[in-house]
Structure 1
Amino acid sequence: MQQTTDSQQYYQQTCNQQMDCPVFSGEKSVDLCIIGGGLTGVSSAYHGAKAGLDCLLLEAEQIGFGASGRNGGQVSPGQRLDQASLEAKVGKAQAHKLWQLALDSVDLVRDLIDKHQIPCDFTPGILHTAFKPSHAREMQENVQLLQKDYSYQDCRYIEQDELKTMLASPRYYGGELDMRAGHLHPLNFTLGLARAAQQAGAMLCENSKVLDIQSVGDKIKITTADGIVTANKLVLGCNGYLGKLFPKVAGKIMPINNFIVTTKPLGEQQARALIRDNVAVADSKFVINYFRMTPDHRLLFGGGENYSSRFPADIRNFVRPYMLEIFPQLEDTELEHGWGGTLAITMNRMPHFQCVDERIYVAQGYSGHGVALATLAGKLINQAIAGQPEGFNTMASYPTPTFPGGTLLRYPALVAGMLYYSLRDRFGS
């Protein structure tokens, strides 16, 4: 997929850490090989090395190059589906287990930041806003369910009148505020965790694209342009960048492109006038808008997607209409940065966890919910390797259908589906 130049990418310009990672060459045997230098990969390397495994991570570009270093930075409890939907699908007992894992994922991010003093501007609070009146009713029911049946008191429902005092937008009908959630600088968090993985003993290699994966006896052979790795276990943490590397699981996900802009610095007074309490915001549209303030008082706003191999020629003007729908008062505000990245979604928007042939662990398709869940994935994978697979199996037990037509026909089907949901966003109640 096309990528945005660093000069257009706010996170690159405000990155506070540098990695020192060689290109992999030669031959090496390891306990655990990890493909992908995003949060799934670096968390797998960190937890594997902490458990005493000889770990090698191979990244085709640079650590944090993909969605892990480009996203909206929101760290949210819960799965991509609400708990009522999960209960209807898998039953209350399993839904409670999925909820607990989602809580664990947020707590893990916060614990790692504290333990390793990762400077990534973590700030508490996410406000989920209702784009339609029916969404507000669903949010109110969700908060009631969480408070009553899950003993979760860190969230509360926000009526429309109160919401207007918190968020200077005329577009929303209510919301739910979660203060256990938060937001951060995702690239700095990814790099900080990668450095912790190195300090724990993992070897991280950049510019080391994997060309082939083969099972050879009870081992896995991983081939790059400059070397060969033989591993006992393998983690596929490629997500939206998997391509054709491992066809067995490629049809479970759909790579899509998402886009973000930042305004010029607005100053603290205007920033607080837009988002009073400095929480992150994500709305209930099917193709969501998500936004927050940066430490230097810029509005960072994500909106719009496409499904091709090319990004829009002018990302700032591509995202601007989505931003102005929410904040029309910013019509004359300059946008300084605009960038895109590729993430992966699944058909049901729940992440895809799978162990293939008892040796290859896959975690992908976070569907925009990946900062916390991808970090947790690395821990769950290593627990499974160590003979404690309960958490990984809970995530893997949720069925992930293959896109109709696999990788060949998934794009036309997705575009048709997204058109349907965009019309529902526009005209539904």
Structure 2
Amino acid sequence: MTADADIFTDDFRAAPYWWDGTPRPDLGQPQLPAGVDVAVIGSGYTGLHAALQTSRGGRSTLVLDAADAGWGCSTRNGGQISTSIKPDLATLARRHGTATARAIHAEGHAALDWIGRFITAESIDCDFGVVGHLHAAHNAAAFARLAAEVGNEPAGLETGARVVEGAALRAELGTDAYCGGVVYPRHATLDPGRYHQGLLERVAAAGATIAPHTPVTAIAREAGGFRLSTPRGEIAARDVIIATNGYTGAPTPWQRRRVIPIGSYMIATEPLAPGLADELFPTGRTVTDTRKVVYYYRLSPDRRRVLFGGRVSAGETDPRLSAPLLRAELVRLFPRLRDIRVSHSWMGFVGYTFDTLAHAGRHDGMYYAMGYCGSGVAMASYLGMRTGLKVLGSQEGRTGFDELSFPTRPLYSGRPWFLAASVAYYRWRDRLNL
């Protein structure tokens, strides 16, 4: 394939690969109730898990979304499941003290364990599997840091991780681009579209009303709760849950000032030649690397395609423009894919935070959970569930995140004007192998 040849398949779609098997549901526009016990803003993993708890707990529940149900990152992510906590224990201990740091890391372990049990208990058919995760080192210094972390895991928070290098690394991944890595055997994968659809069905069966294409334009305090304004009318709600993550908007300015929407881009390749998937991904694990501008990738559930994601531009761009850049990185890692074409290209906004931690709590009377920093499949589900329990008044709703302050920065109002410079800086560091 020449450099100027068309890299797209004839049936290319600028839409998530997952939507082929699970199209966005046509839920119509149900009549809005005049009042409910609980209004949930956002129909992704966080919102649906919260709604599942409140509905099953006997509270009338309305889930509102500005677009199709699950249109955001809950059906656009790569389907990788981890413990979801980015800062290491030592970093968190310096910020918050050892006890809080351990509590936060324990929540990451709990979220990973819980989501597998939940999917099994609810019989959600979503290709869930514990396949493990390889975190690969892009240089020797990064590998040394990874090996040191694995060798110093605190008692009670062991991950079962093991260091791989040399021939063992080649047995994990068919590329010479890395000098070593760490395998986390408990990490898992699923099909995010099918998982979301399963959640949606269970929330509806529990009695909640789901109203897509009904954006909330304003929220006002009133006696006994809140009044939500939408283009289709107003709704009174005793409790409100904000579950908008990377799509948090103007109606909730306090949360908007604390979440940084960052575009994450993905491609799916056309089907691989027979046997090639087994050569390149012999263990079938998910993969990330140690670069600051990280790439993440895996095989599709049927092991026929590579799903490859990351950030490839300083600012937001069209998925048709990001696809060639992602493909070039994929080919750099796996030269045998030099002739591969792209069948799907898409993007979604992940919700980052200034302290790289998820946050859950209550502000101005409204509950919220958000800021999963690109690792939200398990944590969004878990904190959504816990938030629903909080609304019900259950002590089981408490989490290790509850006492954390939710930081912002001066002059930040929700538009990340600093993002282009930050990405350029970290990409420069990656090129220098720092």
* TM-score for both structures, normalised by structure 1: 0.92
- Tell me, yes or no, if structure 1 residue 245 matches structure 2 residue 251: yes
SS of equivalent to 1:412: coil
Contact 2:87/2:356 (8 A) holds in 1 = yes
Residue in structure 1 matched with residue 118 of structure 2 by the alignment: 112
Q: Distance in 2 between matches of 1:391 and 1:97?
A: 14
Quick one: which of 161, 177, 180 aligns to 2:183? 177
- Give CA deviations for 1:61-113 in whole Å, capped at 9, x if unaligned: 11221011001111001412222322332232222211221112122221221
Which one has the bigger helix percentage? Answer: 1
Contact 1:46/1:194 (8 A) holds in 2 = no
- Give CA deviations for 1:233-261 in whole Å, capped at 9, x if unaligned: 11111111112121112111111211111
Instruction: Label 1:176 to 1:198 Cα distance change in 2 as closer, same or farther (>3 A).
Output: same
Residue in structure 1 matched with residue 432 of structure 2 by the alignment: 427
Q: Return the offset for 1:307.
A: 6.3
SS of equivalent to 1:314: helix
Taking the TM superposition and a 5 Å limit, the aligned residue runs for 1:267-346 are: 267=273, 269-296=275-302, 297-306=304-313, 308=315, 310-346=317-353
Q: Return the offset for 1:306.
A: 4.6
SS of equivalent to 1:301: strand
Contact 1:46/1:196 (8 A) holds in 2 = yes
SS of equivalent to 1:394: coil
SS of equivalent to 1:407: coil
- Give CA deviations for 1:135-187 in whole Å, capped at 9, x if unaligned: 212222222233x5235253222224311221012221222212211111111
Q: Return the offset for 1:402.
A: 0.7
Contact 2:84/2:379 (8 A) holds in 1 = no
Q: Distance in 1 between matches of 2:237 and 2:293?
A: 39
SS of equivalent to 2:196: helix
Contact 1:312/1:318 (8 A) holds in 2 = no
Q: Distance in 2 between matches of 1:112 and 1:18?
A: 23
Q: Which runs of 5+ in 1 are unaligned?
A: none
Instruction: Label 1:128 to 1:298 Cα distance change in 2 as closer, same or farther (>3 A).
Output: same
- Tell me, yes or no, if structure 1 residue 102 matches structure 2 residue 108: yes
Residue in structure 2 matched with residue 415 of structure 1 by the alignment: 420
Q: Distance in 1 between matches of 2:353 and 2:217?
A: 25
State the AA in 1 paired with 2:428.
Answer: L
Quick one: which of 211, 218, 229 aligns to 1:223? 229
Quick one: which of 16, 30, 34 aligns to 1:9? 16
Q: Distance in 2 between matches of 1:415 and 1:403?
A: 17
Contact 1:24/1:227 (8 A) holds in 2 = no
Q: Distance in 2 between matches of 1:51 and 1:267?
A: 50
Contact 1:353/1:364 (8 A) holds in 2 = yes
Q: Which runs of 5+ in 2 are unaligned?
A: 1-11
Residue in structure 2 matched with residue 83 of structure 1 by the alignment: 89
- Tell me, yes or no, if structure 1 residue 402 matches structure 2 residue 408: yes
Taking the TM superposition and a 5 Å limit, the aligned residue runs for 1:36-55 are: 36-55=42-61
Instruction: Label 1:165 to 1:368 Cα distance change in 2 as closer, same or farther (>3 A).
Output: same
Q: Distance in 2 between matches of 1:420 and 1:212?
A: 37
State the AA in 2 paired with 1:320.
Answer: R
Instruction: Label 1:98 to 1:334 Cα distance change in 2 as closer, same or farther (>3 A).
Output: same
Q: Return the offset for 1:323.
A: 1.5
SS of equivalent to 1:379: helix
Contact 1:303/1:322 (8 A) holds in 2 = no
- Give CA deviations for 1:217-276 in whole Å, capped at 9, x if unaligned: 231111111122211111111111112121112111111211111111114521111111
Instruction: Label 1:66 to 1:420 Cα distance change in 2 as closer, same or farther (>3 A).
Output: same
